[in-house]
Amino acid sequence: MHKTVGVILPSIHNTWIVLLLLGSVVFPSHAFSSEIKVFCTQALKGVMANVGPQFERETGNKLVITYGATGGLVNQVNKGEAFDLIIVVKPALENLAKQGKVVEQSRIDVARAGVGVAIRRGAPRPDISTVEAFRQTLLNAKSISYTNPAEGGTSGIYIAEVIKKLGLAEQLAPKTKLAPGGTSSGTIVAAGDAELAMQMISELVPVPGVEILGPLPAEIQSYSVLSAGVSPGAADQRAAKRLIAFLSSPAVAPVLREKGLEPSK
């Protein structure tokens, strides 16, 4: 499901055709040259690093991106920090829309992210193909890492729940190294400070020095839909909507797959 594929980004001409077909993103020239302040989940960091510069070249709009865990980004919004566009897990975005902090009509699902396991590149590859094999691998590991659930990381919260359901909370606690929210547990594995990293696959793929062992077994897998929405106070709502349309377009779908995500459509 998460097989890496080669990606050749479409030419500027072809991408513009995609954008023109979307209709809703055809704006007059005064929408160009805007600065778009984006609050973005860490799960999309690899994608944004890849396609963000292309969007900037083609539109003249500059992206100013703050990455973090969903919980942390939502806290920033609730504290009144200014933003134009936010991309977080769908339930969090829905709550922001209900509070009037995101324009309801602007919400679009961008991608779907599953949880996986990573090891240090070249390390032995333990079995995680079944729930029981995954459980035994966790027990056998000298150390594990995932993002701190207390800091609002969606995958960290879920992994903590899985560990509890597997009856391993007490056994694993002494050998667990929590990564700060908004960072990748893969960096801890790459540094040799843990054997296994568990997180959204798209947050593990960009980390140098690690390789994906695989997704969680299907019976305990969890997918998070990543959704984007525009702030009612956005300096240029049309420029922000243009970015959402670009990220959810067929032109970006191959990059999503390469970075460990699935297009939402």
Can you tell me the mean pLDDT for 166-186? 93
Q: Do 130 and 210 reside in the same domain of the chain?
A: yes
Question: Strand (E) positions, the chain?
Answer: 35-41, 62-68, 85-89, 108-120, 144-147, 176-179, 196-200, 210-215, 223-230, 261-263
Q: Do 165 and 39 reside in the same domain of the chain?
A: no
pLDDT in tens, 210-262: 999 999 999 999 999 999 999 999 999 999 999 999 999 999 999 999 999 99
Q: Do 76 and 19 reside in the same domain of the chain?
A: yes
Q: Does 3 map to a domain? A: no
pLDDT in tens, 90-131: 999 999 999 999 999 999 999 999 999 999 999 999 999 999
Q: Does 230 map to a domain? A: yes
Res 23 pLDDT > 80 = no
Domain carrying residue 212: 114-220
Look at residue 73 in the predicted model and tell me its pLDDT. Answer: 96
Q: List the CATH number of the domain containing 238.
A: 3.40.190.10
Strands 261-263 and 108-120: antiparallel
Among residues 185, 200, 220, which one ends one of the domains? 220
Q: Do 135 and 172 reside in the same domain of the chain?
A: yes
Q: Do 71 and 146 reside in the same domain of the chain?
A: no
Look at residue 30 in the predicted model and tell me its pLDDT. Answer: 40
Look at residue 183 in the predicted model and tell me its pLDDT. Answer: 84
Counted domains in the chain: 2
- Find tokens 């077909």 and name the residue: 21
Q: Does 1 map to a domain? A: no
Mapped onto helix, strand or coil, the DSSP state of residue 261 is strand
Question: Strand (E) positions, 59-191?
Answer: 62-68, 85-89, 108-120, 144-147, 176-179
Q: Are 224 and 155 in contact (CB under 8 A)?
A: yes
Both tokens of 188, joined, read 């801890």
CB environment 220-236: b (16+ within 10 A), e (fewer): bebebebbbbbbeebeb
- At residue 1 the predicted structure's pLDDT band, cuts being 50, 70 and 90, is very low
Q: Do 144 and 196 reside in the same domain of the chain?
A: yes
Mapped onto helix, strand or coil, the DSSP state of residue 132 is helix
Q: Do 251 and 233 reside in the same domain of the chain?
A: yes
Q: Do 137 and 126 reside in the same domain of the chain?
A: yes
CA distances from 24 to 50, 238, 244 (A): 24, 9, 11
Does the pTM surpass 0.85? The reply is no
